[in-house]
Amino acid sequence: MNPQMLLSIKLMGMPIAELRERIEQELEKNPALELIEDKITVPLEDYKNVKVISGSSRGSQQASDEHRRFIEGALSRSETLQEHLLHQLQLEPVDKKLRIIAESLIQNLNDDGFHKEKPQTLFAKEQPRLAEAIKLVQGLDPPGCCTSDYKEALKVQISLSPFFIEEFEINHIEKLLDELELLEREKYSVLAKKIGLDEEDTHIICDLLKTLSPFPGRAFASASGEVRYVIPDIKVVKENDEFIINLNDDVFPVLGINSNFEKFSESKDAAARNFARENIKEARLFISHLSQRNQTLIRVANAVLEFQRSFFLNGPKYLAPLTLSDIAKELNVHETTVSRTANGKYMQTEWGIFEIRYFFTNSISGAGSSGSKFSKKSVKEIIKEIISDENRLLSDQEICALLGQKGIALARRTVAKYRKELDMGSSYDRKIRGGLK
- Say how far apart CA 350 and CA 98 lie, in whole Å: 39
pLDDT tens-place values along the chain, 437 residues long: 456 766 777 788 787 878 888 898 999 998 888 888 776 544 444 433 332 222 333 333 333 344 444 444 444 456 678 888 887 887 788 888 899 999 999 989 998 899 988 898 888 788 899 999 999 999 888 889 999 988 888 888 877 765 554 544 666 777 777 776 677 677 778 888 887 777 777 777 777 777 778 888 876 654 444 445 567 888 898 888 788 888 887 777 888 888 887 777 777 788 888 888 888 899 999 999 998 898 999 999 999 998 888 888 888 777 887 888 888 888 888 877 888 888 778 888 888 888 888 888 765 554 344 445 666 677 787 888 888 777 667 787 888 877 877 767 677 777 787 787 777 766 656 555 554 43
pLDDT at 335: 79
| Contact between 71 and 106 (Cβ < 8 Å) | no
pLDDT at 427: 60
Strands (E), 38-170: 75-77
- Say how far apart CA 435 and CA 183 lie, in whole Å: 36
Residue among 376, 388, 377 at smallest CA distance from 425: 388
- Say how far apart CA 99 and CA 221 lie, in whole Å: 23
pLDDT at 51: 28
- Residues contacting residue 108 through CB under 8 Å, at least 6 positions apart: 115, 116, 117, 119, 122
pLDDT at 18: 81
- Say how far apart CA 425 and CA 292 lie, in whole Å: 47
- Residues contacting residue 122 through CB under 8 Å, at least 6 positions apart: 104, 105, 108
- Residues contacting residue 135 through CB under 8 Å, at least 6 positions apart: none
